[in-house]
Structure 1
Amino acid sequence: MNLLGIHHVSILTGKAERNFEFYTKILGMRLVKKSVNQDETSTYHLFYGDAKGSPGTELTFFDIPGLGHTYPGVSSITSTSLRVKTTEALEYWQKRFEAYNVEHEEIKKRANRDTLAFQDFEGTQLILVADNGEEGVAAGEAWDETEVPKEYGIVGLGPVLLRVRSSKPTAKVLQDVLGFRYAGSYPSLEGDFPDVEVYTTGEGGAGAEVHIQTRPDLSPEKLGRGGVHHVAFRVPDEDEHAEWVKRIQQTGMMNSGKVDRFYFKALYFREPNGILFELSTDTPGFDIDESVEALGENLSLPPFLEKNREEIEKKLRPLTLDS
């Protein structure tokens, strides 16, 4: 069994309206699903992705109004990458960030790729990474109903950066349990610290990598708005997911067992450094209850919550997303 790559990354926001503005109006991503947190149905869960809501393209946000800010540290998913096609696209984004007063760095090399680091209004650490024709996990399709030219649009998720005090326990789980392969390292951009380790899965490439940064000098992160809740990895279908459930349970690590999210099957567990991992199926997908053309237009509820729609909608705060 091989994981296919990164499925989605879930982040916390304290203001869904501004979040929507940033990710759709500035970044040009598509709102592919407006739903609720299935574990706390009085709050929203927003999903942004490519034109079709493809696996491997989604950033998701749990909306928690009034949430405090994140105190950065170890045992965390420190940054999330978003793929674009070329370095020329990075140059476009650099100018766009300047026009919109988005905090950003200069274009820099990470893992031998051209990258552009930036952050949203809540301090979420993001990195644009240029594919430049690299082979590996296929990209998605940029959303073209936005002012961002399609050739410069975001086409999927790139590497996630994990920050830990010691890389060995996390690397062991990635390699021995999840089947990732060590693919090299690159110098830390944060000072005199060990090189960042790169691990890859599936067909490889930017959409299939986990990077591990060792920072023994830091305290554990205190998660708040702008912080990453978990990263999910791609499993092709439900049959293979059942085998992954068995494998994770055999390790003795605490885990959720199979969780039915309707749009995908999930399993959650924490690796030894405390970072939350998820294994999610590509199937059935976000178009199971909405057409591709209408993705994200209405409040979507899985069948096991649909029967409680009236009660759920009463508890949800009003949310106006100006599309």
Structure 2
Amino acid sequence: MNSIHHITAIAGKAGVNAAFYENVLGLRMVKKTVNFDDPSVYHLYYGNQTGEPGTIITFFPWEKANPGIPGGGQAAVITFAVPEGSLGFWEKRLQAAGVETDRKRRFNDSYVVFDDPDGIPLELVERGSAAEKAERTAITGIAGVLLLSTAPEKTDTFFTEILHWTRKDADDSFVRYATGGDFTCVDVLQTAVERGEDGPGTIHHVAWRAADDKVQGGWKKKVEQSGVYVTPVRERQYFQAVYFRVPGGVLFEIATDAPGFLVDEPEYRLGKSLMLPSWLEPERKQVEASLPPLTEKNISN
């Protein structure tokens, strides 16, 4: 568990969400499917061209739900990586799209911070080599996440003693953990926060990569031995998943890399059609009728 597989959040209008993440952030919709636990709700996946683990952000659009309440037991901010030297480009791009931006620092990093249309806090940080500067500006993946805990001390013990993450830095507000994977960092607010409520504008869970089911099973056993409940393995079509809440409340998932998003669509068709697992295919007409059209193109709608 040293690299993020994906992060899942809750949106409002599906069309507004798609317009923002595709047209403004330049991500590709790599899978248009449904929440397998509630097929009346989309599950939209965005990432790089092939949907590689580590580039994926996903959404459940709860169009009729009341806005969520950010708080303890949730991720508070999603951090995307962009190439070195590209923050200025992104400030101009976002502002041209009508998105308000700010610059902030946390530890030794400078961030461009902004909200998505539902109020989910996002930030961009430069990661990568100087050689990429003149050639690339696109988001390259997820660089980390900021978590809010109802019990930061218990969260710290779990991260350091069970997950074997290291305390990389700390100040009066945050602790930064190095997970050991690429450039992934996890920041945790040191102050306990009252538990939040799920809904549009909040982040649902953070999924961590497991190379295969054997690795996933090893982590499942290790977490269970620490006294934390872990769900049985759940079939998610594009990966196998288990879920647990770390002490302090944040929902984590361990997701396998395989089989991946090309299992039911070729690369050139990713995200074009509504894809359903085999057990929902007999109900396709009913499922499609329950979903709103993805037709809104203006993020201000």
Same fold flag (TM > 0.5)? yes
User: Measured at CA, do residues 316 and 50 of structure 1 come closer, stay the same or move farther in structure 2, by a change above 3 Å?
Assistant: same
Q: Partners in 1 of 2:239 and 2:135 — Cα distance?
A: 28
Task: Kindly state the Cα deviation for residue 321 of structure 1 after the two structures are TM-superposed.
Answer: 6.5
The answer to whether the 8 A contact 1:160-1:210 is kept is yes
> Is structure 2 residue 184 aligned with structure 1 residue 172?
no
How far apart in 1 are the matches of 2:114 and 2:290?
35
Q: Give the Cα separation in 2 of the matches to 1:159 and 1:318.
A: 32
AA at the equivalent of 1:154: I
The change in CA–CA distance for 1:304 and 1:179 in structure 2 (over 3 A counts) is farther
Moved more, 171-180 or 282-291: 171-180
| Structure 2 unaligned blocks of 5 or more | none
Aligned residues: 296
Which residues in structure 2 correspond to 1:130-279 (within 5 Å)?
Answer: 130-133=126-129, 151-185=136-170, 187=171, 194-205=172-183, 208-216=184-192, 218-279=193-254
Deviation of 1:320 (Å): 3.0
C-alpha separation between the residues in 1 aligned to 2:73 and 2:135?
36
Which residue does the alignment assign to 1:89? 86
State the 1:18 CA deviation.
0.4
Q: Tell me what 2:100 maps to.
A: 103
SS of residue matched to 2:256: strand
The 2-side partners of 1:111 and 1:307 are apart by 52
Residues 67-101 of structure 1 deviation map (CA, whole Å, 9 limit, x = unaligned): 21232333321100011011x31101111222122
Task: Write out the 4+ residue segments of structure 1 that deviate beyond 4 Å after TM superposition.
Answer: none
Q: What does the per-residue CA deviation read over 1:91-139, in whole Å, with 9 as the maximum and x for residues that have no partner? A: 0111122212212212x332322311111111100010101439xxxxx
In percent, how many aligned pairs have the same letter?
36
- State TM-score, norm by structure 1: 0.85
The root-mean-square deviation of aligned C-alpha atoms, in Å, is: 2.1
For the structure 1 residues 267 and 150, does the alpha-carbon distance in structure 2 shift closer, same or farther, using more than 3 Å as the test? farther
- CA deviations over 1:160-183 (Å, ceiling 9, x no partner): 001224421112222222232221
The alpha-carbon distance between structure 1 residues 105 and 37, as it changes in their structure 2 partners (threshold 3 A), is same
In the superposition, relative to structure 1, how do residues 150 and 22 fare at CA in structure 2: closer, same or farther (>3 Å)?
A: farther
CA contact (8 A) 2:15 2:293 kept: no
Q: Normalising by the residue count of structure 2, what TM-score does the alignment of the two structures yield?
A: 0.91
Cα distance in structure 2, aligned partners of 1:260 and 1:167: 32
Unmatched 5+ residue regions in structure 1? Answer: 135-140, 142-148, 188-193
Assess if the C-alpha contact under 8 Å between 2:68 and 2:198 holds in 1: yes
